[in-house]
């Protein structure tokens, strides 16, 4: 299999037009993956190096000015035949592809991608110090912090895990509340689901970067080095947070067989039959499955078996925190029962 890496630069007009989501969906559609990303303002000197060899072209000065005039998004993309797939089928050669649909002219043509393996290697080498800078900045932002992201199917016990962590001194945050605060700043009149769906369609990275800022602000406000966030939904948010926060972000999938969940539903709700429990539980499972929750189990840092007793669950949570809490160097005995 010919696995390659290539570079995509979403230009200033691509960001303004909200085309990041479209580009990311194209990458996913072609079974490619983004393995690094950084939104930054490029220097003129860097852009001149990007377009080295085109100095005598009439458009050279104009394109250098445009690409360095405002922030751009750099994406390192990996996958089978990534160079040609991105150039031909995703970004496109003007006037085809996304460029053909959204470009204003040869300069404002929304995105850039190298057209050969040799060019891709050169441009990725040029971009590597920028990605290294991003990693260094993120390492400083998340230093001495740890986030447990709780997820799982309906009635799996993730709220029980969150409440237990909170009891043990690890504050429990609700993901929906953090997104509500972003909505209140960006578009206060809009319904939350419509707001998040629209922003994830336009530029999910901008929305998720805002989510990180709210998360860090909340941790600072609570003076907490460790928190849990609940409930992590499927799709790109979890992988993106993992890419940005690395070992400081722990995806925790609370797992429990359907049969046990149904039995507990009967006991909790005072139901009479399994069919009643299925009527209550299965439609919610369908929604979670459609949103990609089961796929999070495949990338989870921890899968907690909640098919035993409550004491078993608490013991597993204690072990999980002890395993990961070395990230938080300033905290001793992070789980201390009263």
CB 42 within 8 A of CB 249: no
- Quote the CA–CA distance of 113 and 136 in Å, as a whole number: 25
Please check whether residues 314 and 181 belong to one and the same domain: yes
28: domain CATH number is 3.30.70.141
Q: Which of 108, 138, 168 is the last residue of a domain?
A: 138
Q: Which of 138, 164, 198 is the last residue of a domain?
A: 138
Please check whether residues 163 and 60 belong to one and the same domain: no
pLDDT of residue 101: 87
pLDDT in tens, 279-324: 999 999 999 999 999 999 999 999 999 999 999 999 999 999 999 9
Please check whether residues 201 and 55 belong to one and the same domain: no
pLDDT in tens, 44-74: 999 999 999 999 999 999 999 999 999 999 9
Q: Is residue 295 part of a domain?
A: yes
CB 107 within 8 A of CB 62: yes
- Quote the CA–CA distance of 305 and 327 in Å, as a whole number: 24
pLDDT of residue 334: 43
pLDDT of residue 331: 42
List strands edge to edge, sheet with 3-10: 33-40, 72-80, 3-10, 111-112
* Catalytic site includes residue 112: yes
pLDDT of residue 329: 65
pLDDT of residue 335: 47
Please check whether residues 226 and 94 belong to one and the same domain: no
Please check whether residues 61 and 187 belong to one and the same domain: no
Residue with tokens 């070992």: 247
Total domains in the fold of the chain: 2
Please check whether residues 156 and 14 belong to one and the same domain: no
Range of the domain at 162: 143-327
Q: Which of 39, 47, 32 is nearest to 15 (CA)?
A: 39
SS (H, E, C) the chain: CCEEEEEEEECHHHHHCCCHHHHHHHHHHCCCEEEEEEEECCCHHHHHHHCCCCCCCCCHHHHHHHHCCCCEEEEEEEEECHHHHHHHHHHCCCCCHHHHHHCCCCCCCCEECCCCHHHHHHHHHHHHHHHHHHHHHHHHHHCCCEEEEEECCCCCCHHHHHHHHHHCCCCEEEHHHHHHHHHHHHCCCCCHHHHHHHHHHHCHHHHHHHHHHHHHHHHHHCCCCEEEEECCCCCCHHHHHHHHHHHHEEEEEEECCHHHHHHHHHHHHCCCCHHHHHHHHHHHHHHHHHCCHHHHHHHCCEEEECCCCHHHHHHHHHHHHHHHHHHCCCCCCCCCCC
Give Cα 40 to chain centroid, integer Å.
18
Q: Is the pTM of this model over 0.75?
A: yes
Q: Which of 250, 230, 231 is nearest to 242 (CA)?
A: 250
Burial class (CB in 10 A: 0-12, 13-18, 19+), 53: exposed
Please check whether residues 7 and 58 belong to one and the same domain: yes
Per-residue pLDDT of the chain (338 residues; tens, 9 = 90+): 689 999 999 999 999 999 999 999 999 999 999 999 999 999 999 999 999 999 999 999 999 999 999 999 999 999 999 999 999 999 986 566 898 889 888 899 999 999 999 999 999 999 999 999 999 999 999 999 999 999 999 999 999 999 999 999 999 999 999 999 999 999 999 999 999 999 999 999 999 999 999 999 999 999 999 999 999 999 899 999 999 999 999 999 999 999 999 999 899 889 999 999 999 999 999 999 999 999 999 999 999 999 999 999 999 999 999 999 999 864 444 444 43
pLDDT of residue 166: 98
Please check whether residues 317 and 183 belong to one and the same domain: yes
Q: Which of 177, 153, 295, 185 is nearest to 236 (CA)?
A: 295
205: domain CATH number is 3.40.50.300
pLDDT of residue 332: 40
pLDDT of residue 258: 95
CB 79 within 8 A of CB 31: yes
Q: Is residue 337 part of a domain?
A: no
Q: Which of 81, 104, 138 is the last residue of a domain?
A: 138
- Check the CA dihedral 262-266-269-271 and report its sign: positive
Please check whether residues 71 and 208 belong to one and the same domain: no
pLDDT of residue 314: 98
pLDDT of residue 106: 84
Please check whether residues 258 and 153 belong to one and the same domain: yes
Please check whether residues 175 and 299 belong to one and the same domain: yes
- Quote the CA–CA distance of 338 and 333 in Å, as a whole number: 12
Please check whether residues 152 and 126 belong to one and the same domain: no
Q: Which member of 102, 112, 248, 324 is catalytic?
A: 112
Residue with tokens 């409440």: 163
């Amino acid at each position: 299999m010919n696995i390659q890496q290539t570079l995509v630069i979403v230009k200033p007009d691509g960001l303004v037009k909200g085309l990041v989501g479209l580009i990311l969906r194209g990458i996913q559609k072609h079974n490619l993956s983004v393995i690094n990303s950084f939104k930054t303002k490029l220097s003129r000197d860097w852009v001149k190096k990007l377009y080295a060899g085109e100095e005598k072209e009439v458009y050279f000065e104009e394109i250098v000015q445009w690409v360095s005039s405002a922030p751009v998004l750099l994406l390192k993309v990996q996958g089978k035949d990534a160079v040609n797939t991105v150039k031909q089928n995703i970004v496109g050669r003007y006037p085809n592809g996304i460029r053909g649909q959204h470009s204003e002219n040869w300069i404002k043509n929304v995105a850039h991608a190298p057209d050969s393996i040799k060019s891709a290697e050169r441009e990725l080498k040029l971009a590597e110090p920028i990605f290294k800078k991003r990693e260094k900045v993120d390492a400083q932002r998340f230093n001495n912090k740890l986030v447990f992201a709780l997820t799982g199917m309906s009635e799996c016990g993730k709220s029980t895990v969150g409440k237990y962590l909170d009891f043990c001194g690890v504050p429990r945050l609700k993901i929906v509340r953090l997104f509500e605060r972003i909505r209140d700043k960006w578009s206060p009149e809009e319904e939350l689901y419509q707001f998040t769906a629209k922003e994830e369609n336009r530029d999910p990275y901008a929305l998720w970067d805002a989510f990180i800022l709210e998360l860090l602000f909340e941790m600072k406000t609570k003076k907490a080095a460790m928190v849990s966030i609940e409930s992590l939904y499927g799709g790109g948010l979890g992988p993106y947070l993992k890419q940005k926060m690395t070992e400081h972000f722990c995806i925790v999938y609370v797992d429990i067989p359907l049969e046990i969940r149904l039995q507990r539903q009967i006991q909790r709700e005072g139901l009479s039959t399994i069919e009643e429990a299925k009527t209550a539980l299965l439609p919610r499972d369908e929604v979670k499955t459609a949103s990609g929750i089961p796929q999070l189990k495949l990338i989870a840092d921890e899968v907690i078996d909640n098919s035993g007793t409550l004491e078993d669950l608490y013991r597993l949570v204690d072990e999980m925190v002890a395993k990961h809490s070395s990230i938080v160097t300033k905290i001793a005995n992070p789980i201390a029962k009263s």
